[in-house]
């Protein structure tokens, strides 16, 4: 694994920490009485995914990650879902908070815990294979 690769993975992990912090904020919201707070949080999730995409997509294309199309579709789905949540807020849909929480839990499981762990595993294997194929410097 190159230094650049490690830096990108560290940045993605940092962004995922931001995601978890935003999730915790959502899970502490108890009702729709503070629509501004919910709306602000959704805006923060939009910023999160924008950064996530900007950092991750060029990287996974560069490493030619298997199943990349599915991963990219997940990113587009997140963006679409945040737009839907914003519309629900505009119409003061009573289930918006529950819908947001449900989506975030699913994103955590399907994208962060599954898809991203998958390509971290691939990178680790590539790194191990590259190290094993390097000539020995011992004489």
CATH number at residue 15: 1.20.120
pLDDT given for residue 29 in this prediction:
79
Look at the chain and report how many structural domains it folds into. Answer: 1
Summarised one tens digit per residue, pLDDT across range 96-137 is 888 999 999 999 888 888 887 777 777 777 656 665 655 444
Separation of alpha carbons 19 and 16, rounded Å: 5
In a domain, 21, yes or no: yes
Residue 138 maps to a domain = no
Q: For the whole model, what pTM was predicted?
A: 0.79
Q: Name the 3-class secondary structure at 90.
A: helix
| CA distance readout (Å), 70 to 60, 115, 119 | 12, 9, 12
Q: How far apart are CA 109 and CA 103, in angstroms?
A: 10
User: H or E element: which one contains 87?
Assistant: helix 68-90
Contact criterion met (CB below 8 Å) for 136 and 10: no
- CA–CA dist 35, 121 (Å, integer): 40
Residue 57 has pLDDT above 80, yes or no: yes
Q: Residue 35 phi/psi, 5° resolution? A: -60, -35
Domain that holds residue 75: 7-125
What is the rounded distance in angstroms from the CA atom of residue 100 to the CA atom of residue 118? 25
């Amino acid at each position: 694994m190159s230094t650049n690769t490690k830096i990108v993975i560290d940045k993605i992990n940092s962004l995922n920490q931001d995601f978890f912090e935003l999730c915790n904020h959502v899970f502490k919201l108890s009702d729709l009485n503070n629509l501004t707070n919910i709306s602000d949080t959704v805006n923060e999730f939009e910023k999160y995914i924008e950064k996530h995409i900007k950092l991750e997509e060029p990287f996974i294309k560069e490493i030619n990650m298997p199943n990349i199309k599915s991963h990219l579709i997940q990113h587009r789905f997140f963006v679409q879902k945040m737009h839907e949540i914003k519309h629900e807020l505009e119409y003061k849909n009573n289930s918006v908070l529950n819908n947001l929480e449900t989506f975030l839990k699913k994103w955590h499981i399907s994208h962060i815990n599954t898809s991203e762990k998958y390509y971290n595993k691939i990178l680790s294997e590539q790194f191990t294979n590259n190290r094993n194929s390097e000539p020995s410097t011992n004489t």
